[in-house]
Amino acid sequence: MKNIFTPEKKQQSLARTTSKSVQDKSGNIIESQTVDEYKSYKDSEPSFVKEYLQDQTKLDNLKKGTVKIFKRLFPLVVFNDNLIILNASIKKDLCLTLGIQLSTLNNALNELKKSQLLIHIDTGVYMLNVFYYAKGHWSEIKKIRSQISCNVIHSDPNDESSPVKNIEFNFDKLIINKDKYNSVKKRQVPDTSKSEKLPKGKNTQTHKISKNKKTLISTIIELFQFNKLDRNNNTYINQDREGLKNS
């Protein structure tokens, strides 16, 4: 059985094929040889989500079921942008995978939004709070962080060394490239603007024709292709202990 946690070894791909031949004085080929030349490339790092450990209270206060659903969203996170596209098709597949009702998923999303671990950007579009979880290069994560302000509330308002009671974030200054995620969303929305009538003599009631139905797997592939990255759905958490002050 293949170990999904074992990095793949260096791979080889065929670069070119050359033919060598030996001719006699009359020009007849008396010996020929075909040589395949390969080039090697390194294995890529598996898909990941980084967890920042400066504050654990928000995660600790979540319901267990919500934490489970939250982690299932990690493979859907778009590299560097940290966006998550959740259309009807993806939600349906998530519910089937987890064995839950759509209402349960929506309740979990609401709890994640309330805790500010998940930011609601637009219909079916969310973003990770990159002060807690993020996927991408640190330089890109810092750019997103610079657009978010936070207010640390201590149990004793007059003593900053007292335990942290809550951290409130303001996302009003977030700059989101809507064209990027809208181009993906449009390919996932079924086209119900046309209808087709059945032949005479049969049921003449019109029925809607849905186009461009996507499965969860094809949607994830399109998201990764859009970012020109080749990544799989295996997710691990890299615990980054860098101080909040340095962010």
pLDDT value, residue 94: 94
Q: Record the pTM.
A: 0.61
**Residue 146 vs residues 41, 52, 139, 203: alpha-carbon distances, Å:** 36, 16, 11, 60
Q: What is the pLDDT of residue 6?
A: 65
The pLDDT of residue 221 is 53
| CB 76, CB 126: distance < 8 Å | no
| Residue-level pLDDT at 209 | 35
* pLDDT value for 75: 92
Tokens 């004793």 sit at which residue? 156
CATH T-level assignment (fold) for domain 48-191+210-246: Arc Repressor Mutant, subunit A (1.10.10)
Give ranges for CATH 1.10.10.10 in the chain: 48-191+210-246
Give pLDDT < 70 ranges for the chain.
1-17, 35-44, 180-181, 183-247
State the pLDDT at residue 44.
67
182: which residues sit within 8 A by CB, 6+ positions away? Answer: none
**What's at 188, amino acid-wise?**
Q
- Cα(108)–Cα(125) distance, rounded to whole angstroms? 15
